[in-house]
């Protein structure tokens, strides 16, 4: 039942997008870590964690404050390549509720411009909203807890147990594989064809090994891991994954 | 450490001149039947004159006692303190090893007790308990023995200035191992700080024999080298060094000297206690297992290397002191310091790689100056035979390797500046003057200094995000101080310049256990990354099964297998020294000289002459030949594995551009081999080896390399950009690795000239890539490449060709790892009814 568009605009892009069916919707898994729903013109990116670099500056940890612009560079590159009508940021877009106040003015302007000429939807995540404080209030775009598109339900945190038709982030899946005595660790999408978990999109966001107990019980059968590499998304069998 | 009783009276021994020693000391020497040595007297006199002094003497010359005597004499004549709390520290002793500091303290107690001197002696390290540390702060001992890391911490104390105001002397032991390193930089800066606290303080350096004492003098001097009095100890008896040709034959290749084990065991049988030195811990494991496999008489043979649990090492050391052991297989962990019992034979398994290290190791046998030490070099392959002969000659001539220049590093300086700010407010100009009083920072540019201070304060970013989060702030009085007490506390938790690759504890117990069992030791993270659960490997002399990693623990269970599945890494971590390399090149070129080499090596050189060529010392031989479906290029620069790796990596990039289709390369200390799809014989070799490869090609490659990321991580940790320890959270090395890679990528993209990237680039070029050495070599061989196109592999090429297949995939092969795993998917992915496909394939 290959439901792949034979000739898509994507095949011309340098990014080796991997196409999979999730709950009967055709999903393009992009090298950037974003999800592309071509039929809807919708691009979905999870866990940007903007301003993670500056989050602990008050404690003296002065990490390079360039993660926000790196993440925005990657996001804007996707917007340039694809005809995006709807941009969904799938929660934890900011590392903490005060992150917006730490933004450099030009970064703040770039974030505002994301909503220009398209629908921008912020799904709330546990980092964006904490103790009644929200990073998302002052920004252009719509703030929601969940959104449905192409029969898929988009939320930040995956629901425990099987949840067919759900697309979520939050867990930052990453995989480790090895051969020739060498191992590689990469961010990855996880899907069993029923639900999909997106990798973190943010430049400084860490990854959690897909074999971690946090992923247990989410899939009906061993999922496929779609690992991000430089120019291609590689589909890896569950059996090849290794713990850290 | 002390002068030792002489077995027979030495006719030339100077009698202690009357009045040179206070009566109590003279009596003590006499009572022990000892005569004070000339260099000990010279050190006392330098002390009396209040001069800084550097003592260079071979092991066993009573060096440590010579360093302490002036302080002991001074303290013995001091009137009792009026203040009931006593006085501040009189003498601070700093050693590169914790264990050495503890041991020297113990040894120093002997003369102090026997002379009934009213002197308190204490040691202090990271292991010292809080109560003792507190007491040491309130009631300082007269003599405090510690490590460079503790000194860095002292410098970050509030009140450090008062604490060290009475300091009269600082003794730096084994400075030859410290000075050209980041720990040395930290020590050097600490020394300048102490001098500022106590302007009359004397600096005393102790060192093994080095090729260039002037460099050490300059390093430890507050201004010019002549401010430091140089005292040279008498050279010991000439050592007896043999090269072992085990079983009468030498293998073509290999690093473990497996063939020699029966002969090595025989030599151990002839000795009271033998130290068997190897160059890596995995080699140590291998030798230990190989010797025990044939040790039918059950001679007590033990193992000692840096990865073993400390407790285990202490046990081995104690058994050695008691004379219970016949041999100890060891790495550089036993290069230094204390004499453990009655060692009368040193065996070096596989080539020593440098003459200074060999001299130091030979000195471990027989700590008596007047008797020759006995040592045996055991080459593991044919090139190593040449190297061992070269090393033997170098040892006989006492010709030592030179260290590469080491200007003070800026990440270490950043740590020091932060420490100073945690201790007391500082003025940038005053501190610059103090810092440039440290030998390693004598040439520090003011612009670099300003950048370092800005880095410490704001992180040094072009995007001025952190102006309101400065770590140090400038007060109205123009002095910089730490912004909050919490930031100071965090800094103190992260001092030190040792950032060995992340290490993982090896614990007994299944991976499913949440709490680990007994710790058997630790090893570098990268080693476990190549293991899959179920793999067996060798550690601590036993074969273990790897069960998995949890946090910072690798879980293992004893395996019954005799042969571990995962072989150890075969190479040496020390590169062949420039000095030995040039000797080896000369030996090869001098046909007259071949006769004294073992028969099969001589024959091998003859074959090489007949079938290919013997290069002159100034030439580089380069062979090209086809083999199988591939074409090979083998070069023999003799510049050490690191420089060869860098060279081969850069050549590969060029060959790629020339359309030759390079497929891979492999290197050892003597040669490199590159193979390709198309022939390389017709290339313009002078252009291929032109020095401009060290420009853009190097830069491009470096930026992408894994090494650079690792180096960046080390610099970032030392400089305080990334915290190693955070209050309350034990962040695992693994998590740090991951995030520093991301930080590196982001920083490189947005501010490629950032101070930390600059520092990391300098470090990687110097330490990991040996770029300087490669540059000199390219200069040396310009117009002197002797190219021979051959129909088949040459005798010289065999060793490096045999290394092929042992090497792991390199750099850009990461994607291949993913691709191969993807191939596995085809079979397994069918369950998805063909829903998986990749576009454009």
pLDDT digits (tens, 9 = 90+) for A28-87: 999 999 999 999 999 999 999 999 999 889 888 899 999 999 999 999 999 999 999 999
A14 and chain B in contact, CB less than 8 A: no
Give the pLDDT of residue B177.
83
Contact B746 A203 (CB under 8 A): yes
CA distance B152 to B826: 57
- Model confidence at B820, pLDDT cuts 50, 70, 90, reads low
Q: Which of A7, A50, A64, A212 best tests the B interface by mutation, with the highest count of B CBs <10 A?
A: A64
A9 and chain B in contact, CB less than 8 A: no
Contact B839 A58 (CB under 8 A): no
Q: Which of A16, A186, A235 sits opposite B829 (nearest CB)?
A: A235
Q: Which of B481, B512, B535, B818 best tests the A interface by mutation, with the highest count of A CBs <10 A?
A: B818
Chain A residues in contact with B749 (beta carbon < 8 A)? 66, 70
Strand partners, B521: B308, B506
User: pLDDT tens, B683-736?
Assistant: 999 999 998 888 877 877 777 666 788 788 889 989 988 876 654 444 443 334
Q: Which whole number is the average pLDDT over B752-756?
A: 94
Q: Which whole number is the average pLDDT over B248-274?
A: 88
- Model confidence at B503, pLDDT cuts 50, 70, 90, reads low
Q: Which of B821, B826, B830, B838 best tests the A interface by mutation, with the highest count of A CBs <10 A?
A: B821
A61 and chain B in contact, CB less than 8 A: yes
Neighbours of B296 (CB within 10 A): 7
Q: Which of A4, A60, A175 best tests the B interface by mutation, with the highest count of B CBs <10 A?
A: A60
Which comes out higher in pLDDT, residue B644 or B708? B644
Residue of chain A with shortest Cα separation from B547:
A243
A212 and chain B in contact, CB less than 8 A: no
Which comes out higher in pLDDT, residue A181 or B826? A181
Q: Which two tokens stand for residue B47?
A: 């002390």
Q: How distant, in Å, are the alpha carbons of B101, B124, B156, B186 from that of B153?
A: 17, 12, 5, 10
User: pLDDT tens, B788-814?
Assistant: 999 888 888 888 887 765 443 333 445
A187 and chain B in contact, CB less than 8 A: no
User: pLDDT tens, A90-123?
Assistant: 999 999 999 999 999 999 999 999 999 999 999 9
Q: Which of A21, A178, A232 sits opposite B835 (nearest CB)?
A: A21
Give the pLDDT of residue A165.
95
Q: Which whole number is the average pLDDT over B173-200?
A: 93
Give the pLDDT of residue A15.
63
The alpha-carbon gap from A149 to the nearest alpha carbon of chain B, in Å, equals 21
Give the pLDDT of residue B543.
79
For β-strands A25-29 and A35-37, DSSP reports them as antiparallel
Burial bucket for residue A48 (CB in 10 Å: 0-12, 13-18, 19+): buried
A200 and chain B in contact, CB less than 8 A: no
Average predicted confidence (pLDDT) for chain B: 83
B 429-458 residues with CB below 8 A of A?
458
Chain A residues in contact with B836 (beta carbon < 8 A)? 18-20, 224, 235
Q: Which of B458, B816, B822 sits opposite A62 (nearest CB)?
A: B458
Q: Is residue A200 within 8 Å of residue A33, measured between CB atoms?
A: yes
Give the pLDDT of residue B562.
66
Say whether pLDDT at B112 is over 70.
yes
- Model confidence at B165, pLDDT cuts 50, 70, 90, reads very high
Give the pLDDT of residue B2.
43
Q: Which whole number is the average pLDDT over B631-659?
A: 88
Say whether pLDDT at B738 is over 60.
no
Q: Is residue A227 within 8 Å of residue A234, measured between CB atoms?
A: yes
Among residues of chain B, what percentage have pLDDT more than 90?
41
Q: Which two tokens stand for residue A204?
A: 């400084």
Which comes out higher in pLDDT, residue B540 or B287? B287
Neighbours of B552 (CB within 10 A): 18
Give the pLDDT of residue B338.
62
Give the pLDDT of residue B516.
55
B459 and chain A in contact, CB less than 8 A: yes
Chain B residues in contact with A61 (beta carbon < 8 A)? 722-723
Residue of chain A with shortest Cα separation from B461:
A64
Contact A59 B466 (CB under 8 A): no
User: pLDDT tens, B434-448?
Assistant: 999 999 999 999 999
User: pLDDT tens, A126-138?
Assistant: 999 887 888 888 8
Give the pLDDT of residue A34.
97
Q: Which whole number is the average pLDDT over B256-282?
A: 90
- Model confidence at A151, pLDDT cuts 50, 70, 90, reads very high
Q: How distant, in Å, are the alpha carbons of A103, B276, B431, B458 from that of B473?
A: 22, 54, 15, 9
Give the pLDDT of residue B339.
62
Q: Which whole number is the average pLDDT over B741-767?
A: 89
Residues 6+ apart with CB under 8 A from B220: B52, B54, B172, B175, B179, B188, B191, B203, B205, B228, B439
A63 and chain B in contact, CB less than 8 A: yes
Residues 6+ apart with CB under 8 A from B107: B1, B2, B64, B338
A76 and chain B in contact, CB less than 8 A: no
In the three-class reduction of DSSP (H, G, I as helix; E, B as strand; rest coil), residue B824 is classed as helix
A108 and chain B in contact, CB less than 8 A: no
Say whether pLDDT at B362 is over 90.
no
Give the pLDDT of residue B753.
93
Give the pLDDT of residue B416.
96
Give the pLDDT of residue A60.
87
Contact A204 B738 (CB under 8 A): no
- Model confidence at B12, pLDDT cuts 50, 70, 90, reads very low
CA distance A200 to A32: 10
B813 and chain A in contact, CB less than 8 A: yes
Place of tokens 């867990």: A171
Q: Which whole number is the average pLDDT over B262-273?
A: 94
Chain A residues in contact with B837 (beta carbon < 8 A)? 2, 4, 19
User: pLDDT tens, B301-326?
Assistant: 999 887 788 788 888 888 888 889 99
- Model confidence at B821, pLDDT cuts 50, 70, 90, reads low
Per the rule left: phi > 0, alpha: psi between -120 and 50, beta: everything else, B138 is alpha
Contact A66 B463 (CB under 8 A): yes
Q: How distant, in Å, are the alpha carbons of A144, B193, B571 from that of A120?
A: 11, 57, 56
Taking one residue from A and the other from B, the number of pairs with CB-CB distance under 8 angstroms is 182
Which comes out higher in pLDDT, residue A202 or B352? A202
Q: Which whole number is the average pLDDT over B765-790?
A: 86
Among residues of chain A, what percentage have pLDDT more than 90?
75
The alpha-carbon gap from B570 to the nearest alpha carbon of chain A, in Å, equals 15
CA distance B552 to B505: 6
Say whether pLDDT at A173 is over 50.
yes
Say whether pLDDT at B91 is over 80.
yes
The alpha-carbon gap from A151 to the nearest alpha carbon of chain B, in Å, equals 18
Give the pLDDT of residue B203.
97
CA distance B464 to B452: 15
CA distance B361 to B551: 37
Among residues of chain B, what percentage have pLDDT more than 70?
84
Q: Which two tokens stand for residue B465?
A: 């995000």
Q: What ipTM was reported for this prediction? A: 0.87
Contact B463 A237 (CB under 8 A): no
Stated pTM of the model: 0.82
Say whether pLDDT at B827 is over 70.
no
Which comes out higher in pLDDT, residue B761 or B550? B761
- Model confidence at A243, pLDDT cuts 50, 70, 90, reads confident
User: pLDDT tens, B412-442?
Assistant: 999 999 999 999 999 999 999 999 999 999 9
Give the pLDDT of residue B127.
76
Chain B residues in contact with A199 (beta carbon < 8 A)? none
Which comes out higher in pLDDT, residue B697 or A151? A151
Q: Which of B486, B810, B817, B824 best tests the A interface by mutation, with the highest count of A CBs <10 A?
A: B817
Neighbours of A161 (CB within 10 A): 7
Most confident of B65-74, B206-215, B599-608, B823-832: B65-74
């Amino acid at each position: 039942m290959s439901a792949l568009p034979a000739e898509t605009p994507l095949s011309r892009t340098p990014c080796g997008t991997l196409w999979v069916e999730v709950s009967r919707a055709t999903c393009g898994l992009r090298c950037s870590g974003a999800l592309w729903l071509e039929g809807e013109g919708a691009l979905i990116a999870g866990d940007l964690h903007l301003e993670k670099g500056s989050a602990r500056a008050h404690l003296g940890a002065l990490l390079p404050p360039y993660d926000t612009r790196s993440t925005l560079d990657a996001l804007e590159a996707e917007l340039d390549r694809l005809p995006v009508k709807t941009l969904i940021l799938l929660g934890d877009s900011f590392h903490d509720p005060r992150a917006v106040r730490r933004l450099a003015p030009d970064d703040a302007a770039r974030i505002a411009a994301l909503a220009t000429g398209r629908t921008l939807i912020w799904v709330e995540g546990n980092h964006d909203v904490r103790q009644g404080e929200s990073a998302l209030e002052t920004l252009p775009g719509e703030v929601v807890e969940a959104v449905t598109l192409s029969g898929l339900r988009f939320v930040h945190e995956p629901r425990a147990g099987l949840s067919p038709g759900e697309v979520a982030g939050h867990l930052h899946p990453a995989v480790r594989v090895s051969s020739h005595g060498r191992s590689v660790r990469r961010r990855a999408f996880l899907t069993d064809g029923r639900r999909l978990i997106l990798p973190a999109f943010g430049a400084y966001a860490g990854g959690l090994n897909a074999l971690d107990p946090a992923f247990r019980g989410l899939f009906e059968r061993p999922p496929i891991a779609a690992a991000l590499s430089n120019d291609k998304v590689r589909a890896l069998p569950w059996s090849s994954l290794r713990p850290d | 450490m002390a002068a030792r009783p002489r077995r027979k009276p030495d006719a030339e021994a100077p009698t202690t001149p009357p009045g040179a020693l206070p009566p109590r000391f003279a009596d003590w020497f006499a009572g022990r039947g000892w005569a004070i040595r000339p260099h000990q007297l010279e050190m006392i006199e330098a002390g009396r004159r209040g001069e800084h002094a550097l003592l260079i003497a071979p092991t066993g010359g009573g060096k440590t006692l010579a360093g302490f005597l002036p302080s002991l004499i001074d303290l013995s004549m001091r009137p009792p303190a009026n203040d009931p709390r006593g006085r501040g520290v009189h003498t601070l002793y700093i050693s590169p090893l914790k264990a050495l500091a503890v041991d020297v303290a113990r040894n120093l107690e002997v003369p102090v007790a026997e002379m009934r001197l009213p002197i308190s002696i204490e040691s202090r390290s990271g292991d010292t308990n809080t109560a003792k540390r507190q007491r040491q702060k309130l009631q300082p001992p007269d003599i405090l023995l510690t490590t460079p890391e503790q000194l860095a911490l002292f410098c970050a104390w509030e009140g450090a200035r008062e604490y060290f105001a009475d300091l009269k002397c600082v003794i730096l032991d084994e400075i030859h191992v410290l000075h050209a390193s980041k720990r040395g930089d930290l020590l050097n800066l600490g020394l300048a700080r102490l001098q500022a606290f106590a302007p009359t303080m004397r600096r005393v350096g102790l060192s093994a024999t080095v090729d260039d004492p002037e460099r050490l003098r300059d390093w430890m001097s507050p201004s010019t080298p002549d401010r430091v009095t140089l005292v040279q100890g008498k050279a010991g008896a000439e050592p007896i060094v043999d090269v072992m040709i085990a079983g009468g034959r030498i293998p073509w290749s290999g690093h473990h000297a497996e063939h020699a084990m029966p002969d090595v065991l025989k030599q151990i049988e002839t000795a009271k206690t033998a130290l068997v030195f190897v160059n890596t811990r995995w080699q140590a494991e291998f030798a230990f297992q190989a010797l025990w496999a044939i040790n039918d008489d059950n001679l007590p043979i033990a193992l000692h290397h840096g990865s073993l649990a400390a407790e285990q090492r202490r046990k081995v050391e104690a058994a050695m002191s008691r004379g219970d052991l016949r041999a100890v297989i060891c790495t550089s962990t036993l290069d230094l310091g204390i004499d453990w019992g009655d060692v009368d034979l040193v065996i070096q398994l596989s080539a020593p790689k440098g003459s200074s290290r060999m001299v130091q190791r030979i000195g471990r046998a027989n700590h008596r100056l007047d008797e020759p030490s006995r040592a045996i070099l055991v080459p593991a392959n044919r090139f190593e035979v040449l190297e061992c002969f070269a090393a033997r000659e170098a040892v006989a001539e006492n010709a030592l390797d030179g260290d590469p220049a080491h200007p003070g590093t800026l990440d270490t300086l950043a740590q020091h500046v932060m420490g100073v700010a945690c201790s007391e407010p500082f003025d940038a100009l005053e501190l610059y003057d103090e810092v440039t009083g440290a030998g390693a920072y004598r040439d520090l540019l003011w612009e670099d200094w300003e950048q370092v201070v800005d880095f410490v304060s704001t992180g040094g970013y072009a995007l001025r995000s952190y102006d309101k989060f400065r770590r140090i702030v400038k007060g109205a009085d123009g002095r910089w101080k730490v912004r909050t007490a919490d930031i100071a506390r965090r800094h103190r938790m992260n001092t030190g310049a040792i950032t060995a690759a992340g290490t993982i504890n090896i614990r007994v117990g299944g991976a499913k256990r949440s709490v680990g069992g007994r710790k058997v030791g630790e090893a570098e993270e990268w080693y476990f990354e190549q293991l899959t659960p179920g793999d067996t490997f060798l550690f601590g002399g036993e074969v273990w099964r790897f069960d998995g990693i949890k946090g910072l623990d690798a879980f293992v269970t004893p395996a019954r297998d005799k042969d571990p599945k995962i072989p150890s890494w075969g190479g040496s971590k020390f590169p062949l020294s420039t000095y030995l390399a040039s000797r080896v090149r000369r030996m090869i070129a001098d046909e007259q000289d071949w006769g004294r080499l073992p028969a099969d090596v001589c024959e091998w050189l003859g074959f090489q002459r007949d079938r290919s060529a013997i290069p002159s010392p100034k030439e580089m031989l380069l062979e090209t030949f086809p083999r199988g479906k591939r074409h090979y290029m083998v070069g023999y620069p003799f510049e050490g594995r690191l420089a060869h790796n860098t060279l081969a990596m850069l050549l590969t990039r060029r060959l790629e551009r020339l359309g030759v289709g390079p497929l891979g390369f492999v290197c050892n200390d003597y040669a490199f081999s590159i193979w390709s799809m198309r022939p390389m014989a017709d290339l313009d070799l002078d252009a291929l080896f032109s020095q401009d490869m060290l420009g853009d090609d190097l830069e491009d490659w470096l930026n992408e390399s894994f090494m650079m990321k690792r180096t960046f991580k080390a610099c970032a940790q030392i400089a305080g950009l990334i915290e190693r320890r955070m209050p309350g959270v034990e962040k695992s090395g693994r998590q740090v690795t991951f995030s520093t890679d991301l930080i590196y990528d982001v920083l490189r993209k947005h501010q490629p000239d950032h101070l930390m990237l600059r520092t990391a680039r300098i470090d990687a070029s110097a330490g990991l890539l040996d770029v300087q050495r490669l540059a000199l070599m390219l200069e040396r061989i310009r117009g002197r490449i002797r190219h021979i196109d051959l129909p088949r592999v040459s005798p010289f090429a065999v060793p490096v060709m045999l290394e092929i297949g042992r090497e792991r995939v390199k750099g850009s092969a990461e994607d291949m790892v993913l691709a191969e795993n993807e191939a596995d998917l085809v079979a397994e992915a069918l369950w998805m009814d063909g829903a998986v496909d990749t576009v454009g394939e």
